[in-house]
Chains A and B, each alone.
Chain A
Amino acid sequence: MDKKIKVLIAKPGLDGHDRGAKVVSRALRDAGMEVIYTGIRQTPEQIVATAVQEDVDSIGLSCLSGAHNKLFPKVVNLLQEKGAGDVLVFGGGIIPDEDIPGLKDAGVSEIFLPGTSTEDTIEFIKNNVK
């Protein structure tokens, strides 16, 4: 049996706009992946604890409130602390281009901006999960 790719889609922080997270979740499901969606208002700690319990291959973080510079790196750091540093982390939402290098340095593998096709996200995950 081919192992199904397991992805956690999470919304860290207080932002409640979940349209994108839900659309991406559906698209990943339709591509044959198993998606854990945690709902909104998750702390980085909750997200990482969930990721570890569910032994996911990848985490997709969605944030439209501008808090990404603080919250995304926090998730990456916590993953490393918990020995789950090999989980592929990507993000999306309202994120200015100029923040992307910083996020990548912090360990976020890719940022998908508004207008990204779900196909690209799916390809990225397939090509980059360990």
Chain B
Amino acid sequence: MEDLIEGLLVGKVRPLAKAITVVENDQPGKRELLKRIYPKTGNAYLLGITGPPGAGKSTLTDKIIANLRKQGKTVGVIAVDPSSPFSGGAILGDRIRMQQHALDEGVFIRSMATRSNLGGLAKNTVDVIHLLDASGKDVIIVETVGVGQDEVDIVRIAQTTVVVMVPGLGDSVQIAKAGVMEIADVFAVNKADREGADKLFSEIRAMLDMVKGDIKPAIFRTVAVDDVGIEELVQGIFAHGERVASSGLTGKKLVEKAKRELHAYLVDNIMARSTGLTLYDDVVKRIAAKEITPMDGVEKIFAGLEMKKGEN
């Protein structure tokens, strides 16, 4: 463990990779590991990239990485793909589009499956972000699938969230989809050389006009495969970050972030402890048989946890 911590703090690849495995899988030593590296976090710029499947997120991420590298920044990437609800396994293929960076020591890419842990994607992925942060990466990119509940959580802790959209995927529906307007700090209209790009651009603009607030998210046009619009997008991302910092919102965001992390851990922890109680199955049976209400069930569980504490 000591070797892992020392190694990752100086950015060595294998210790970092191994540490991520510990944290990703809740292996023994995780608590200690996080305790040691947590104070060293908070330096990296956290960027979230999300959007519907087919938007070209991975290709866009690949080009953003290239741009950041040209600026001399080191980059950590977490590419998230969904786990199969049937088998619990996953095929993690986002990397395919980023393999040009595989041999660049300044880039660390890790693929993660959403799994279906009770704490959800949020908890373990945030821990991995902390590790990448502590290892000295200047920018950490989290690329996630779709716009779903978990993804919204992840994205709320990022400094800047980019929502990638493409013409031709049922635009107004995409935009209206819950959460997109709230979470987007920057919009990227990718595959902007396609028919419908201008229309999509205008629709996003129109929707933004209806939202309150003076600071509106910027919209950029990109054609990721051709490396078009990337420079402007990256500048726009950092511009957003600066706006947030200079408006004094950073503190508020950090508190928000801390809350979310704490909540994710709380939920995970309570669920784990509750389902581990011997009386758990009994409570479930009684609720199913309509003998007690779920509300009463909760009381019984908490009582059981208290008792257990008393025993310890």
Contact = CB atoms under 8 A, between A and B. Distances in A.
Contacts of B90: 29, 34-35
Interface string B85-114: 011111111011001001100001111010
A98 B102 CA distance: 33
Contacts of A37: 91-93, 96
B17 A50 contact: no
Interface string A45-74: 110011011110000000000000000000
Interface residues of A, number: 29
Given A1-B117, A54-B17, A82-B14, A46 B96 contact: no
A33 B113 CA distance: 10
A36 B99 CA distance: 12
Contacts of A28: 89
B235 interface: no
A114 interface: no
A46 B17 contact: no
B95 A38 contact: yes
B73 to A, nearest CB: 18
Chain B binding surface SS class:
mixed
A32 B113 CA distance: 11
A26 B111 CA distance: 17
B172 interface: no
B300 interface: no
A123 to B, nearest CB: 15
B17 A32 contact: no
B26 interface: yes
A77 interface: no
B269 interface: no
Given A50-B99, A54-B17, A36 B92 contact: yes
Interface of A: 1, 3-4, 25-26, 28-39, 42, 45-46, 49-50, 52-55, 82-84
8 contacts: A1-B117, A30-B84, A35-B91, A36-B93, A37-B96, A45-B102, A49-B102, A55-B18
Interface of B: 13-14, 17-18, 20-21, 25-27, 83-84, 86-93, 95-96, 99, 102-103, 108-111, 113, 115, 117
